[in-house]
Amino acid sequence: MKRLNSQLQEDGAPLELILLIRTLLAGCKEISFRVGQGELAGVLGSTLSDNVHGERQKKLDVISNQIIKDILKESGYVKAISSEEEDDVVPCHPEGKYLVSFDPLDGSSNTDINSLIGTIFSILHAPQWMEPDDPSAFLQPGTQMVAAGYVLYGPSTMLVLTTGRGTHIYTLDKTHGGFLLTKDNVQVPEDTKEFAINMSNQRHWEPPVQEYVSDLLAGETGPRGKNYNMRWVAAMVGDIHRLLCRGGIFAYPYDNRDPKKAGKLRLLYEANPMSFLMEQAGGMASTGQKRIMEIMPKEIHQRVPVVMGSKNEVEAMVAYYDKAE
Ligand code: AHG
Ligand code: MN
Ligand code: MN
């Protein structure tokens, strides 16, 4: 089986980017090991602190963040990082060529139930002019990403990665510690009968989402003319992985529980990297009103409404927004 290194070279990734990705993955392998140890390593449960998003941090949020932060800071390849679990950007090496944004542990509520969790990341070029502690350098649209991916800590540990030449899936061979290519050039089916949305928020959604989902629920006698199935992992990494494997639509739309929040998911740490993977696999990613990867971020922790997955289904949902306008 092909190794990660060979695939990255074949895809034309520059040496320094390959080294950076491998460094980041060394951190993910350590997280994978700790996650595997679970209760035995004392990594489950919550801390007593909240992050910048007002969410109670799990021990694994803090541990994973520390592991990735330390390894990237020491690497020399990175000028600065931004993380879901850091209030501000963290300056790294003044000569570093890249910026890394990451969600060190996605799906934290799954940690204590031994369910799917993962690490999501994206990589940008660091502008020459930037000071390492300048957050404005991170405010680039997703179209500028040079790589994005996630590591899924499931029954097997998997890496899903793109450098803009397709989306490839690798599996961690724990006998020798390498990621081996197990599916290249994933293609998301254009049509689907499966959707993922947190239905408990239904009463808070905007009218186009209400209408779209109620048409899905109406099944084969409704306007969409087919019966749909629903799945919700409560970890975006898990839901997106399912979509990449067999299609589907995933949405975390705006809701008016807290009108100040533009959605739940974060543009830099979750929406952008997943959009890049999805588009590279022939899928689509939108806010409902525009392509996610074209959003010009205003701040590093910005939230955004998200709808992504099988192209024809995302287009169908977007049509409900268009109609409402
Ligand atoms: P995180 O654990 O990084 O805070 O992200 C959780 C996110 C996302 O992974 C998932 O799709 C969503 O929150 C789940 O939200 P609900 O609590 O509404 O299920
Ligand atoms: Mn997350
Ligand atoms: Mn997280």
Q: Is the CB of 59 under 6 A from ligand 1?
A: no
Final residue of a domain: which of 151, 183, 215? 183
Final residue of a domain: which of 153, 183, 213? 183
Q: What is the pLDDT of residue 108?
A: 96
Task: Count structural domains, the chain.
Answer: 2
Measure 109 CA to ligand 1 centroid, in angstroms: 8
Ligand with smallest separation from the Cα of 105? 3
Do residue 12 and residue 150 come from a single domain? Answer: yes
User: Which of 35, 202, 236 best tests ligand 1's pocket when mutated (most atoms within 8 Å of CB)?
Assistant: 236
The model's confidence at residue 56, banded by pLDDT at 50, 70 and 90, is very high
CB atoms within 10 A of CB 59: 19
Q: Is the CB of 117 under 6 A from ligand 1?
A: no
Distances from the Cα of 58 to the Cα of 42, 44, 47, 53, angstroms: 12, 7, 6, 13
Do residue 20 and residue 116 come from a single domain? Answer: yes
Do residue 139 and residue 86 come from a single domain? Answer: yes
Q: Is the CB of 66 under 6 A from ligand 1?
A: no
For the stretch 249-268, pLDDT in tens is: 999 999 999 989 999 999 99
Q: What is the pLDDT of residue 143?
A: 98
Q: What is the pLDDT of residue 236?
A: 98
Final residue of a domain: which of 159, 183, 207? 183
Do residue 85 and residue 115 come from a single domain? Answer: yes
**pTM for the whole structure:** 0.98
Do residue 175 and residue 200 come from a single domain? Answer: no
Judged by DSSP in three states, 80 sits in strand
Do residue 167 and residue 203 come from a single domain? Answer: no
Q: What is the pLDDT of residue 3?
A: 98
Residue of 238, 321, 319, 248 lying closest to 281 (CA atoms): 248
Handedness of CA 316, 196, 65, 28 (dihedral sign): negative
Mean pLDDT for 73-96 is 98
Q: What is the CATH number of the domain that holds 236?
A: 3.40.190.80
Are 143 and 293 within 8 A, CB to CB? yes
Distance CA 118, CA 60 (A): 11
Distance CA 323, CA 142 (A): 27
Whether residue 189 is contained in a domain is answered as: no
Do residue 59 and residue 176 come from a single domain? Answer: yes
Q: What is the pLDDT of residue 317?
A: 98
Q: What is the pLDDT of residue 6?
A: 98
Measure 243 CA to ligand 2 centroid, in angstroms: 17
Q: What is the CATH number of the domain that holds 129?
A: 3.30.540.10
Judged by DSSP in three states, 189 sits in coil
Are 96 and 104 within 8 A, CB to CB? no
Q: What is the pLDDT of residue 252?
A: 98
* 318: containing domain: 194-324
CB atoms within 10 A of CB 4: 20
Which residues of 84-205 form beta strands (DSSP E)?
A: 90-91, 98-106, 117-125, 147-153, 157-162, 167-173, 178-183, 194-196
Ligand with smallest separation from the Cα of 108? 1
For the stretch 141-194, pLDDT in tens is: 999 999 999 999 999 999 999 999 999 999 999 999 999 999 999 999 999 999
Do residue 30 and residue 148 come from a single domain? Answer: yes
User: Which of 68, 200, 201, 265 best tests ligand 1's pocket when mutated (most atoms within 8 Å of CB)?
Assistant: 265
Nearest CA to ligand 1 atom 15: 234
Whether residue 69 is contained in a domain is answered as: yes
Measure 251 CA to ligand 2 centroid, in angstroms: 14
Do residue 157 and residue 232 come from a single domain? Answer: no
Amino acid, res. 21 = I
Do residue 145 and residue 212 come from a single domain? Answer: no
Distance CA 154, CA 173 (A): 13
Mean pLDDT for 298-308 is 98
Mean pLDDT for 119-132 is 96
Do residue 205 and residue 310 come from a single domain? Answer: yes
Mean pLDDT of the chain: 97
